Amino acid sequence: MATNALDIRPLSGALGAEILGVDLAHDISDETVAAIRAAWLEHLVVFFRDQKLEPAQLLNLARRFGEPVEYPFVKGLDGFPQITPVIKLEHEKINFGGLWHSDTAYLEKPPMATMLIARESPPRGGDTLFANMYLAYETLSDGLRRVLDGLIVVNSSAKADVTRTREDRIKDSGKTEAKKEFIAEHPVVRTHPETGRKALYANGGHALCFKDMTVEESAPLLNYLFQHATRPEFTCRFRWEPGSIAMWDNRCTQHNPVNDYHGHRRVMHRVTLAGDVPR
């Protein structure tokens, strides 16, 4: 199946597309998987509506695109350790992962992709924003791109902002290694292994400093990159409903779940797919 055989509807000029007319609960063909993957590589994040997948079906679907891996801090579902519950309860004020980031950049091999399905969504709010890191890199000046091409960024799982967003889940379902700090050094600009395009790969959730520089020395340029990377013209916004699925390319996007639904419950199930060492 070619991508033009799918009903693909772009969400914005920068990235994101809804794919309609596909029932992911059934055993979709290899041709359909290939067409979805091609659309995903083109649009960076793809969305599906009204999907009824039990945990086993969600994992089977994820395996058609990659190898599911466990999240290092929070226990997965009983019997399905690779499926991480992403929950904000009615009384909680801080949401899980509630800042611009790419998933687990503090690992030596960050995930290639993330697949998220909505189980319960608030009556309004709780959207997720996505940003295109190809555009973030390509719109920088030639001079700054030359500087960044030679820099390495140190990423930490213990950066204050991101640890705050997972405190409640660690309290009620944390793993024994939840207090461990993960640190990984990655290029500020990575080359996508499938498309060959360069993408900015430094995010405000995990990036501490440049290698061989102090946090204070690194802050001005890093803060500029964080703000630049999430300019409105680089983004799209997705509104969740129960049964909605998003699958994003963690190598060339950042995302930010909007925390605007206090007093309501939001329950998602997340699967991450194994990636490679950023180059």
* 228 noted as active-site residue: no
pTM equals: 0.92
- Inter-CA distances, 59 with 63, 82, 106, 117, 173, Å: 6, 8, 24, 11, 20
Cα separation, 91 vs 111, in Å, equals 31
**What is the rounded distance in angstroms from the CA atom of residue 108 to the CA atom of residue 6?**
35
Q: Is residue 151 part of a domain?
A: yes
- pLDDT given for residue 173 in this prediction: 61
Q: What is the pLDDT of residue 169?
A: 47
State the residue range of the domain holding 78: 3-273
pLDDT on residue 97? 87
Amino acid letter for position 246: A
Within the chain, which residues score under 70 in pLDDT?
Answer: 1-4, 160-179
Asked if 270 is an active-site residue, the reply is yes
Closest CA to 276 of 206, 193, 200, 202: 193
- The dihedral region occupied by 244, where left means phi > 0, alpha psi between -120 and 50, and beta the remainder, is beta
Catalytic residue, from 101, 169, 206, 269: name it. Answer: 101
Q: Count how many domains the chain has.
A: 1
pLDDT of residue 73: 85
pLDDT value at position 199?
A: 98
The answer to whether residue 279 is domain-embedded is no
**pLDDT tens for each residue of 209-225:** 999 999 999 999 999 99
Residues 151-171 have pLDDT tens digits of: 999 999 998 555 555 455 455
- According to the model, what pLDDT value does residue 168 have? 52
**What single string gives the DSSP state of each residue in 210-266?**
ETTS-HHHHHHHHHHHHHHHT-GGGEEEE---TT-EEEEETTTEEEEE----TTS-E
Single out the catalytic residue among 37, 43, 103, 266.
Answer: 103
Any domain includes 138? yes
The pLDDT value given to residue 96: 87
Q: What is the CATH number of the domain that holds 31?
A: 3.60.130.10
Number of C-beta neighbours around residue 220 at 10 A: 9
Residue among 43, 166, 255, 266 flagged as catalytic: 255
Q: Which helix (H) or strand (E) holds 57?
A: helix 55-63
- For residue 278, is it within any domain? no
| Known catalytic membership, residue 103 | yes
Measure the CA–CA gap between 148 and 202, rounded to whole angstroms: 10
**Structural tokens at position 139:** 């719109």
Annotated catalytic residue 101: yes
Choose, from 169, 206, 269, 270, the residue flagged as catalytic.
270
